[in-house]
Amino acid sequence: MTSSLSNPRKQLYDKIYSLLSDPSLPYNDYTKGFILHHLSDLINGSPKIDPRIAQDESGNSPVNLLHADVVIQYSPRYSVTVVICFVDSYPISCPVVRVTCPGDDVITQNQIAVAPCGAVFHPYLLNWNHKSSNVRQLVGKLVDEFRSIAPLGSPNLDGALTLPQIKLAKILIENGLNDLYTLVYYQDDQTKKAFFEKITSRYRKHPHLEEFINSTQERLAKFIGIAKDVAKELLPDASKSVGGASSSGTRGYSNALGQQGIPSDPRANYQLYGVVYHPNLRYESADRNYILQHLRDLVPRYRSLGVREEDRLLQVHGVIPYSYEGVYYFDVEVIIWLLKSYPGTRPRVFVSSSSGSCIRDDLLNVTPNGSVYCSYLRNWNASKSNLAGLVSHLSAIFSCQPPRATDRTSPLEQAPQDSSRNIRQSRAPP
């Protein structure tokens, strides 16, 4: 009989079982059973796995979660390590997955399934089904994806940079400034070098500048601010890539789980990313980043709103709640078109007239055909305005003048449960 000490797979199984017995983990017996079963299947598939417990600080309070570092061999010569984090609601919720970037590698720009920060947004995660999905199938899908498009590359800007400058370029990409990196990429070699030399000149000579910058969030935020200032000074057309709605914070990893600010429901985050970065849409890459940020701010606040694609553009659609004479109503359905140059161009907003009601003809901000004109749209500023602010403004307008001509003696007390139901379809506005 083979002993456990001579059987690496049995040793790995015992390690996982032991880790799951740790009282600091938040899992119930149901979740522990699925994690053990799914990782056992993955072990039988023969990839290299290193399970561990790591603290996640992305929520309101730190929590320990089980992570599995999985080595994916996608070609005879190349492999990549992905970190699979099992959330406390697994397998009802999909795991959180990210690609690690060893050395000076970065996520390749044409890799659709992996964000520049390393977060994985594969369709298998978007369509996760707790009854049939598992991590072994997930790893198989990632192998196929990485064979098609290699996940890692080097940010050497066609050989124009020194090794220390490559490390600084990697910091930019890992913290959400992929558009700025792309802008630098298309400059001549002299400008590429000048950009990073000017950034470096803002610091005293340091033997390991990249380690110094990454040592604290404050230093990282300062570095990003310096990079943006230098870009505005040296590069043409830099204001769109470095200014605007981006926050002053960073997108760096604060823990083993992954990107800061990821929603408590990772599947919602994956779905938004998958919609915004769908290759059929007509938006530029820089604009998609702003759209994703605006939708992340909007959707958690207004659960009655959904996002869909129409004519290769995105629509925010659903019900905007408002209060009239002290009572909340959920009877105004809207369509918000995000035009091709959004957020540089303000969105187009329409109120939908449903059966049994029509739009009032005495409104200040809504025309009889449903077009919305308000001060927030007239004063739209690409660097300050956003969808959450727009919807909040519309809710205030509707509270002053309800747009639908209908009987209000029986208000709708409950918001609609399904934000994805169909409302009036329309072609993309010109």
pLDDT tens for 375-391 read: 889 889 888 889 988 98
Q: Is residue 27 in some structural domain?
A: yes
Last residue of a domain, one of 92, 121, 153: 153
Tell whether 247 is covered by a domain: no
Write the pLDDT tens digit of every residue in 282-303.
888 778 888 988 888 888 778 7
Assess if residue 59 is contained within a domain.
Answer: yes
* pTM metric for this prediction: 0.49
Question: Which pLDDT does position 156 carry in this prediction?
Answer: 56
Which tens digits make up the pLDDT trace of 225-239? 888 888 888 876 555
The tally of domains found in the chain comes to: 2
Is residue 72 situated within a structural domain?
yes
Amino acid 5: pLDDT: 41
Written as six digits, the tokens of 237 are: 């057309």
List the domain range (segments joined by +) for residue 349.
283-405
Q: Which of 40-49, 173-182, 329-338, 421-430 has the lowest mean pLDDT?
A: 421-430
Is 192 within a domain? no
Q: Is residue 262 part of a domain?
A: no
**370: domain CATH number?**
3.10.110.10
Please report whether residue 270 resides in a domain.
no
Is 240 a member of any domain? no
402-411 residue pLDDT tens: 777 655 444 4
What pLDDT does 176 receive? 61
Q: What letter represents residue 102's amino acid?
A: P
Give the mean pLDDT of the chain: 75
The last residue of one of the domains, among 153, 176, 202, is: 153
